[in-house]
Each structure stands twice: as structure tokens, then as C-alpha cells.
Structure 1
């Protein structure tokens, strides 16, 4: 790293739930920490955060405000609204920042998160996070007693439709013109789930509230909410530039301690997962927990270096 860099014990790239939780843990351990916030939260379109004990129903922006307020109590933590443009690995990490200047880090924690691409149908974008969803655990409860639809014909979409049928007033599976396995159709219909196989023209609503699904042929379907397929992607290419091992879906591979394949680089939140987990975990509380664990392991890593002690996590890296 450059001799002009301000050296931090840890630089955290990303100030969502994982990044803020990690900064809190490191601040309480008196580790000098720079938390870089791009201001781009994945759950920003959503009305509320759910499944976060003591914060269920909190708007995402409010959760970020609360997190920043708590971090301000720890003098070793510095929050900066900035992004990384380049990183060099040389006796630590040298980071060039978009807002000007640079920083040095002994350890690096990536918490840059995912972004959602929405392949369709037409009209889904203004509804996203308000009446068009992808996760039943984040937004399913709010559909209690409401007519909802699930788009897709794959077995996982059938499973979701059946899950929602437990508490929604009326569930329809809309295959979007795709064929549906007859056995799956029989299962759906035997549990009261309507099946519509016509190609979908568009979603219609007022503002961010869905009103109906319009098909290429046949009558429209009145619905209050729809569960669509999203395609998550890495919001930042920083992990790839660092050479971190990734999965086919783009997620960064970590072990149970948040360690990546690159020494000194950790990752937490929905951008990273273990090999035993088949998909990114979108839950805010899971991201925060991952940040806490990674931060504690980083502190122990630094403690081993500071006092020339054996590192209990040295062999844990994938």
C-alpha cells in the first residue's frame, strides 16, 4: 500500500445490514474501521424490513439511519459515502476511492450486496418491492387474505404457489405461456390453486399497487400482489478483480467464517454464500449475522498478527 494511505485495521466496502453489523462489532473491539457506503441498498424499494427481531416492519431507510446512529458512538469507526474504483494487494490492501484519495487496510471485508434484474413481465418495475415480490418470507405475510399470483412453471414456482395458498385468499399460478407438468397441475388444482397458462402481456396497476395481470388472450386476472422471478447479480465486481472464488450464479464463495479464497479478504451478506447453501440468502437479519461473524473472525485474525499468536481460523479458509 502507499505510504500516503491512511491505514485502517479493516475497510468494509458496503454499508448495508452486513457491513453495518460488522462495523459495530469491530468498533466495539476498538479496531480502526472505514465503512464505505455507496448509498445503494438492495431493499430500498421495499416498504419495510421483515423477520428482523425488534425491527419487524421498519422501513429500510430508517433501519440504515438507526444503524449509522449506533455506529457514531464508536470513535474508531469512520463512515464515508464513497465507492472503490481500484484495489491493489501489496502488504495489505490499497484502495482508490471515487470521491478522491485512497485508504489502506490490513484486512478487507466485502459487503457490497446484490442487485435485482427483473426479466419481466412488462410493468413489473414500478411495482417491485411494493406489490411485486420474490421472497415469501420477506413479504408473504402481508398477502394474508389477499388474491395473489405466482409467475412461472418450474417446480419451485409450484411449491411457492402452494406455500402461499396456506394464507392468501386466492392463489393463481401463471405460467406465462410455458407448459406445466400435468401432475403438478393436478396437485395445484386439488389444493384450490388456479392455473393460467396464457402468455402474459403486462402487469397493470396504479402507482406501486398491482391491480391486474393482462394476458395475450383470455380475461385479465385481478390480483393484489404477484411473486415474480428475479435475477440477482453482484452489485460490484470488486470480488472478481481481487480473484475471489465464485459460484456459477456469481455469488462469492465463503466458508462459515466469511473467509474467501483470497487471504485477508472476507465477504458477508447476500453477495456471498457457503457451498452448502444452494442460493443467496436474502434475509436482512441473516446478512447482519454474517457481518457479525466475519468481523469477529477478522478481529481474531488481527489479534494473532499483533501478538504473534496462532490463528485459530488460519486453516479454515476454503
Structure 2
């Protein structure tokens, strides 16, 4: 078994495989999407836990199983078919496996605004489920020109703050029903281009190109995303219009023998790839359980039938 990605999804898949005595290679590039965050939330018994510490514990747990090898590095290419896949690592090493789990995740690409990316996870957040509670009753701003950003502002005003400003960064102000929803919840719309973000957590300043500024206690920004790796595409997996890998209810991609877990993949019916740690871990467990079961059943089919005379 080859697992690509050492975040919650990949480690959880490797843990399942190790417990089932499968030989598994986990290739860990060491880069996880929530690295800037100091806390993670909504994982029972670990609410507010440091993500880096969770990964550290996860690696320790996986290392207890002798059939699991964790190797630092990146997978630069993948090819093959059911029972015969090959991956090439960044150092040129080639490894073969019967099954692959892709848990490479996505990468946030914040707007190219000076100071915005540097504050991601500390003063700038992307998910109200992950950080809305910590930003409750604060002065907030949402930076984004898409309709989803406007709806995020509506949601924040509905749940967490009576003072929310939507900064469209040069985009047009929302119209129609969306404008009415913003107005109903008292969300002010600022259309000027954002030139810079400065300040510290709890005291952030949004600077506009016309010289004005807006002081807030926290910002939210739904950054555009991209796949961290192109392995699914190389293997021939179907990619959904939003860039995520299409999977079914068992985390199987459209290529037999290849599963995908975490925010790199989703069901077609799900609007967005979820970024919650607990769901990524659950995806990894689900992918590994059903992949192991599939491998077991395929082995039974290859065994000779028992002689009825014996």
C-alpha cells in the first residue's frame, strides 16, 4: 500500500493498514494546510489542540506498527493500474504498490495583498466553523469578491458579530437577494481595492488604495485553492469542476485501486471540500478500511477452490 501525504488523512489511513498487517509506505512531504494555525477545533477530546502536536502524536502511533514505513519526501509522479502502481519520489527513488491512497490535500492561495498571507491562521481565518467562536463578539471584516465571500459575511453577522464589513477588493457590490441579505444583517460593503493588511491578532488594519483604512479585531478570507499535487490527474482520476478529486462513498476514485482522502477529494454532491481535521482523519480511515476489505476479497477470488472430496 502506498499512502501519499502525512496529514491527518494519510496518517489515519496508514494506521488502519498497519493494524491490519499490510505493508505500507507513507510518503510525507511535511507540508500541511493548517500549519499556520495554532489550534484546531471540533475534534472531540482535542478541541483547541495544536495541529503540529496532533501530527507528532500520529507519527508516533503509526511507528508502532512494523509493517509501516514513513519516509520523508515527495511523490513527483504516479502511474500504473490495479495491483501494479509505481510512484517516483523527488530523489528519483521508485516504489511499487498494489493500491494507492492520495491524501496530498489542497493549498490556499490568498489574494496577493501585502500582509494577508503572513497573517493566515493567526489574524486572518477562512472558516467560521474552525475559528468563528474565537472571533465572537469582535469587529470583523471579510475580504473577497466572490458570492461565497458575501455569504460568509452574512453567516458571521448572523452568528458571531454585530459589526461585519465585506471588503470586495475592487469587485462590484453584491446586488439583488444577496445585497438584501447583507443589508438585513447590517453588513457594510466596502468596494475599494485593499492594498495592505497590517497589525497583530486582535488589532488588524485593512488599508485601502485610496488612503483610507479599517481597523478590525479579525479578518476572514476564503482564499482560492489548488491541488497540492497532480498525482490524481496523472493516474487518470476524474477531477471535478472545482478542482477536487471525485470519490464515492467509500473514498474510491474513478480509477480502480486508487482512493483519495481529506480535502483533496469530495463527493460530487458535496458543495465544498471540507477542511476539518476530524473529517480528514475520518476519510483516511474510511478509505483504508474499504481498500483493505477489497484487497482481502480479491485475494479470496484468486485462491483455489477447496476439493470437495477432502
Q: Same fold (TM over 0.5)?
A: yes
**Aligned equivalent of 2:306:** none
Structure 1 residues 93-120: Cα deviation after superposition (integer angstroms, max 9, x where no partner): 1222223533221111111111111124
Aligned length: 300
Structure 1 Cα separation of the partners of residues 110 and 146 of structure 2: 17
SS at 1:201 equivalent: strand
- CA distance 1:266–1:145, change in 2 (3 Å): same
**Aligned equivalent of 1:302:** 295
Deviation of residue 219 (structure 1)?
3.6
**Aligned equivalent of 1:164:** 156
Give me the TM-score of the superposition, normalised by structure 1. Answer: 0.88
Structure 1 residues 164-205: Cα deviation after superposition (integer angstroms, max 9, x where no partner): 122225211222232231654444333232332333222122
* 1:96 aligned onto 2:88: yes
8 A Cα contact 1:127 1:210, kept in partner = no
- The farther-off stretch of 296-305 and 176-185 is 176-185
Aligned match for 2:244, one of 251, 257, 280:
251
Structure 2 Cα separation of the partners of residues 11 and 199 of structure 1: 46
Aligned match for 2:48, one of 47, 50, 57:
57
* 1:132 aligned onto 2:124: yes
* Runs (5+) with no aligned partner, structure 1: 1-9, 311-318
8 A Cα contact 1:17 1:288, kept in partner = yes
Structure 1 residues 20-55: Cα deviation after superposition (integer angstroms, max 9, x where no partner): 111111111111111110001111011111111111
Aligned match for 2:107, one of 112, 115, 138:
115
- The farther-off stretch of 268-277 and 173-182 is 173-182
Give me the TM-score of the superposition, normalised by structure 2. Answer: 0.90
8 A Cα contact 2:150 2:174, kept in partner = no
**Aligned equivalent of 2:69:** 78
Deviation of residue 210 (structure 1)?
5.2
**Aligned equivalent of 2:285:** 292
**Aligned equivalent of 2:231:** 238
SS at 1:255 equivalent: coil
SS at 1:256 equivalent: coil
8 A Cα contact 2:10 2:103, kept in partner = yes
Structure 2 Cα separation of the partners of residues 67 and 209 of structure 1: 32
- CA distance 1:254–1:190, change in 2 (3 Å): closer
**Aligned equivalent of 1:179:** 173
SS at 1:173 equivalent: strand
Structure 2 Cα separation of the partners of residues 246 and 153 of structure 1: 25
